[in-house]
Amino acid sequence: MYTGILHLHSYMAYLVLTGLAISIIAALVGYSKNRPFTDGDRKLGLLGLIPTHLQWVFGAILYFVSPRGASLASGETMSDSVSRLYFLEHPLTMIIAVVLITVGYSRAKRMIGNRKGFSSIYIFYAIGLILILARIPWISWPGN
C-alpha cells in the first residue's frame, strides 16, 4: 500500500503543476483581454484546484504511513536537512499552498461577471505554485 500511494503522490505532482499552470495562464489571458470572469472561467480554475486537493489527500495519507513522515518526529530530525524537509518543511508548505489556492478559487467564484475573478485566481494560484515548487523534494522526484 505504501509504495502505491508513494508512486501516486509522486506522479500526481505532474498533474498538479500542469493544472495550476493552465489555470494561471488562462486567468492572465482573461485579465489581459479585459473581459468579465464567467462561469466557464470558474470551471477552468478547477483544473488547478481539484488536482491540488487530491494531491494533498494522498500526501496526508502518505505522511502517516511513510517512514519519512510523522515517524521522524524527534529532535534529531531538525538537524538533518533531508529529514526536516520530509517531516516539516514539505508538508507545512504544501498545506499553506493548498489554502492559498483554495482562497483564490473561493474568492473568484464570487466574482462572476467581474474582471477581478481572474486576478484572484492568477495571484493566489501563482503564489501557491511558487510555494509548491520551492518545497518539492527534488531529490526523490520521479526520474531522478
Q: Confidence band (pLDDT; 50, 70, 90) for 40?
A: very high
Q: Is the pLDDT of residue 72 over 70?
A: no
Task: Select from 74, 76, 51, 73 the least CA-distant residue to 63.
Answer: 73
Which of residues 65 and 129 earns the better pLDDT score? 129
- H helices of 33-89, in order, are 39-65, 81-84
Residue spans per domain, the chain: 2-140
**pLDDT 10s digits, 107-116:** 999 999 889 9
Task: Give the predicted TM-score (pTM) of the model.
Answer: 0.89
Looking at residue 141, its pLDDT comes to: 65
User: CA-CA distances (angstroms) from residue 30 to 23, 44, 71, 77, 103?
Assistant: 10, 11, 45, 45, 19
Q: Is the pLDDT of residue 24 over 60?
A: yes
**pLDDT 10s digits, 92-137:** 999 999 999 999 999 999 999 889 999 999 999 999 999 999 988 8
